[in-house]
Structure formats: structure tokens, C-alpha cells
Chains A and B, each alone.
Chain A
Amino acid sequence: MKLEEAKKTFDFIFSELNKVIVGQNEVLKQVSVALLADSHALLEGYPGLAKTLTIKTLAQLMDLKFSRIQNTPDLMPSDITGTYIIEESTAGKRSFKFQPGPVFANVVLADEINRATPKTQSALLEAMQEHQVTVGNTTFKLEEPFFVLATQNPIEQEGTYPLPEAQADRFLLKIKVDYPSFDEEVEIVNRLTEDYKKAALKPVLNRDSLLYLQNMTKMIPIANDIKKYAVQLVTSTRQKKDLIEYGASPRASIGLILAAKARALIEGRKYVSKDDINKMAFPVLRHRIVLSFEAERQGMHADDVIKSLLK
């Protein structure tokens, strides 16, 4: 597949997604960036903004194994990873058999991840980092590609376990899902309150094509000065002590450049531009920096601080 074909493929994916999701083009693009970068994304938004629907539809278009984990405070790690169950054969012989959990899929939707206990969160995060699951003494490799697309609600704080910064760092992107515009909301109302024919979606990408596109993403060249600009941006988060208490780690530098390459591929460009770095800086850095008291006192958000660092 050539780069031009890759762009056409993604344009088609977005047009198919728009049959189900109204607006949210930037969210769709950023989720695609996470998939191409072979990493995970955390979607944060208020209830009812089609976060779950977006991920489900995307998985459907990519002909990938999809599973959903609805996180609740009583969810156990074995509910995610799977466990051994006793199975009785027809001959009456009993044996332990491993029953894989929902994590054994290509696209895992972890809904409301901040409602799960830290222990359950860590079980999922281990799978995210190492693409494998350990149950007892046995390690099971997860099938490639493997993505975790998690969602969380910013307003419900009671009974939640916010992801620690060290574990939020595992997500490549933290995608903010905003409210739709007025026209978009009218369109949503038209589709869901009237006799609107549900779009029949056909898979566009298969597993092998997606793996190939992930490989192609890494092939996109980047100029040295743009690479240095990206790294300098991340290091500046550690130096701006007046606004940032804890800056981003080198994982952010890797993620920023990968995300910029993925964005270039989606737009059909054979090179990474400075604009890619600037656009991807927000989803890559906003969950990796801890604002200082001074910044919070001034009412600044992570995005405001990141904006001040960009040149």
C-alpha cells in the first residue's frame, strides 16, 4: 500500500465514521493516530458525547476483535485478564482450563477506567505496557495489534480512583471530547429522533493492513531540527518550574514524534511538519504534566500551559 492509498483509506474510514458519529473529526483523527502509533488512548469527556460509540464503530470498520470492559468498583483483575476454570470432559475428567478475559482482543474499550480499583487498573495497564498477561505462573501473549481505548468522566469524582500520573503515562494520547456545535447537535437530533436508517458499515481495514500501516508510520522521515524541537518541547516541561511541578518523561518525546508521524501519514504527507508537533503536543502532554500551585491559582489548565511552551 502506498502513502496516497493510505490517505484515501483513512479518508474513507472517516467518511464511514461520520455516518454514525456526527462531528468530532479531530477526536476521530486522534484515535486513528493512537492506532497507527501502536499505542493506547484515553478519552475524557462528559457523558453522552459518543466516546464509546466512536470506539465501537472504529473497531467495526477495522475488522478487529473488539471487547468492552465496563469498569466498576467491584471489578476484579481476573475479570479483565481471565482465570482458570474447572472443565469437565465428556469422560468425566476434570481439568483446569484457562478462560481468557476481555483483554484478549485487538481493541479493548475500557469504559470509565477511573471507576475501577487501582489493583484492577494495574492489571489492565500491565497488558497495555507489555502486551501480555500473567495468570498464576503462565504468561499469555496478546494478539497484535492490541489497543486499549479507555474513557473517563471528568465530573464524577465520588467513588472514583483517578489514574496515577505514572500510569496515565502509559496512554499515548489523552483525547478531550468536547460538546458538538449547534449544527452538529441538530444533526444528531435528526438522526436519532427520526426514522433514520442505520448505516451499514463494512470493514475497511483488516489486521494485516493495519500492521502494515503501523510499520509505514515509523518509516515517515522527520527533519533533525523538527525532532530537536519536539524533544526541546518536552524538556521545557521539566524546566518551567513556575507553572509545572512535574514535567513529562522521555516517553513523551517518543510518543510526540510517533504521533506526529502518524498524523502526517493520515494527512497523506511524506514528511513530518512542525505543525504536526504543535497539534499533537496537546493530547500527548496534557496528562503527563502536573501543574504547580501557582498555575492552578491563576486558573490555568494543562492546555494553557502547553500553549505557552509552543513557539
Chain B
Amino acid sequence: MPVKPIVNALKEARQAVMEIVIFNSVIDALVVFMLFLLGCLLLTFPTWYALVPAVVYALVHTRGNLKDVNFSKIEEKFPNLNEQLITVADNAKDQNEIIDALNQEVLQKMKEIRTSSFINFGKLTRELAVMAVISFIIIGSAAFHIKFFDFKEAVKEIKDFKPYQEYDVNEEMLRFEESQNLSEILGEKSVTELGQQQLDLEINPLKSDVEIGSVHDVEDRQFREVAPPEIKAVADVSFEEQIPKQYQRIVKTYFKEITKS
């Protein structure tokens, strides 16, 4: 059975509307993508981050718009087809003289349907203008290295901020016991206390490396403010953080013994 011309015409009309809807969705998604891309560039996010919301938006938006694709959209644009197009579409499979006459009438009126009638040129122009402006902003911010926030640095700082990064330090060992016995820090009291007694020092010249005759008053010397390049401060090895766990106790005990003696 040959397909009725009206059936083909209805298919074409529906297809045309669907193409316009998809086109509008693609343009909207592009605008969203460019906005997010600009955001990613200004905040130094990876650029592929902009794709995710754009794709999600495109899918949701297109799905929603495609659901609304029906003949009532065409009838809204062309009032002379009001209620007739839907009637013809719903009764496309039936045949009688009245339906045939209605099909002919609607077919004639459908020749006036232009695809351009479904394009909102105002909205399209605005979106293209927005895309052009965003493009210029992207080019400008890239050329002048404009950044509002360095995401990569922030991530690095967060990583470095971790206090117990590589060691599982035994907190027991770090516990500081408070004690009133100051002899461990200050030394033996009997040794430090001089009192009012006069202290006579007798230097045995044979047992001393000091030559009394060559001892003079301290000369006033001018020191350079800038340290010579061959001199640099280095931290003592013992104070480096990278002390293996099994030696930490030894190091601590060492310093403890030093203060005692």
C-alpha cells in the first residue's frame, strides 16, 4: 500500500523541528562549555573539567527539549493549522472522504511551513555574541596569564601540609616529662655555685697550650655583614627530619646524656 503524501509530510515536519531543537541544544551546550572553560582557565583547573558539565547539560537539555517535539509546536507557529495538524496526524491511518479532504487541505497549508520559522534568531544572535565575547576573554586571559586562583599550587600545599607525612612517630617517645630536678639542664649545683669566695686560678704553663705573653686584650675587629660565599649555614645532620625510626631513641638519649654531663 503506497504511503500517503500526508504521512511523509508529517514525518518531514517533525524531523525538521527535531533538527532545530538539537541545533539549539548544541548551541546552548557550547555556551555552557565556553563559560566553564573560562572558569577553568582563570582558576587553573584542568581544561577537561569544562567538558563534564557541558556534556551533562547537553544531554539533559536535549532530552527535555526532544520530549516537547510535537505537532502542537508547529501549530503554535502557524495558527492556520490550529487543531488540524494534530487531527491529521492522529488519523493518518484512517481513510474516508472527509479525512482525505482534510489531508489535502493540511498538505496545502503545510507548504507555507519554513524551517527558519522555528529558529529563534534573537536568542541565536545573543548566544553567538556571548560566545564571541567569551572567546576574546579566554584569549586575553591566556595571553596575559591572568589567574584568580592557582589550583595546582593549592593542591600541592594541601599535600605538603600533612604533619606526620612519612613516619608513624611514637608519641610516647615525644612525651615531655616535667621535672623539678634542674640539675639535668643546669648541671650540678655544687659546681656552679661560687658564692663570695675568691677564685684563684693557677695556670700550669707546662700543661697548658696558652702562652701567657701572647695573650692580649681583644682587638676591635670589623666584621663583614655579608658572609663570604664559602661559608653557609647548614643544619646539623642530627637535626634533620629524616632520622630513621630505629635511631630516634638513640638520638634522644644522646642529647639527654649531653645535658647531664
Find out whether the CB atom of A221 lies under 8 angstroms from the CB atom of B87: yes
CA distance A219 to B99 in the complex (A): 8
Find out whether the CB atom of B101 lies under 8 angstroms from the CB atom of A221: no
Q: How many of B's residues come within 8 Å of A, CB to CB?
A: 16
Find out whether the CB atom of B83 lies under 8 angstroms from the CB atom of A221: no
- Interface hits, A252-298 → B, CB 8 Å: 270-274
Find out whether the CB atom of A270 lies under 8 angstroms from the CB atom of B101: yes
* A270-B105 CB under 8 A given contacts A216-B98, A219-B97: yes
CA distance A222 to B102 in the complex (A): 11
Chain A contact residues: helix, strand, loop or mixed: loop
CA distance A223 to B87 in the complex (A): 4
Find out whether the CB atom of A274 lies under 8 angstroms from the CB atom of B101: no
Query: Which of B87, B94, B96 is in CB contact (< 8 Å) with A271?
Result: B87
Whether A220 sits at the interface, judged by CB under 8 Å, is: yes
Find out whether the CB atom of B86 lies under 8 angstroms from the CB atom of A221: no
- Contact partners of A130 in chain B: CB under 8 A: none
Find out whether the CB atom of B98 lies under 8 angstroms from the CB atom of A220: yes
Closest to B95 in A: A219
CA distance A221 to B99 in the complex (A): 6
Find out whether the CB atom of B86 lies under 8 angstroms from the CB atom of A223: yes
CA distance A222 to B91 in the complex (A): 8
- Contact partners of B86 in chain A: CB under 8 A: 223-225
Whether A226 sits at the interface, judged by CB under 8 Å, is: yes
Find out whether the CB atom of A224 lies under 8 angstroms from the CB atom of B90: yes
- Contact partners of A225 in chain B: CB under 8 A: 86
Find out whether the CB atom of A271 lies under 8 angstroms from the CB atom of B101: no
Query: Which of A3, A224, A274 is in CB contact (< 8 Å) with B98?
Result: A3
Closest to B98 in A: A219
Closest to B96 in A: A219
- Contact partners of A197 in chain B: CB under 8 A: none
CA distance A221 to B96 in the complex (A): 9
Find out whether the CB atom of A223 lies under 8 angstroms from the CB atom of B90: yes
- Contact partners of A3 in chain B: CB under 8 A: 98, 101
- Interface hits, B90-129 → A, CB 8 Å: 90-91, 94, 96-99, 101-102, 105
- What 11 new A-B contacts, CB under 8 Å, besides A3-B101, A225-B86? A219-B96, A221-B87, A221-B90, A221-B102, A222-B87, A222-B90, A222-B91, A223-B86, A270-B84, A270-B98, A270-B101
Instruction: List the 6 closest pairs (A to B, CB-CB), nearest first.
Output: A270-B102, A221-B91, A271-B87, A223-B87, A219-B96, A223-B86
Instruction: Report A's interface with B, CB cutoff 8 A.
Output: 2-3, 216, 219-226, 270-274
Write 29 A-B pairs (CB below 8 A) sorted by A numbering: A2-B101, A3-B101, A219-B97, A219-B98, A219-B99, A220-B98, A221-B87, A221-B88, A221-B90, A221-B91, A221-B98, A221-B102, A222-B90, A223-B83, A223-B86, A223-B89, A223-B90, A223-B91, A224-B90, A225-B86, A226-B83, A270-B98, A270-B101, A270-B102, A270-B105, A271-B84, A271-B87, A271-B102, A272-B87
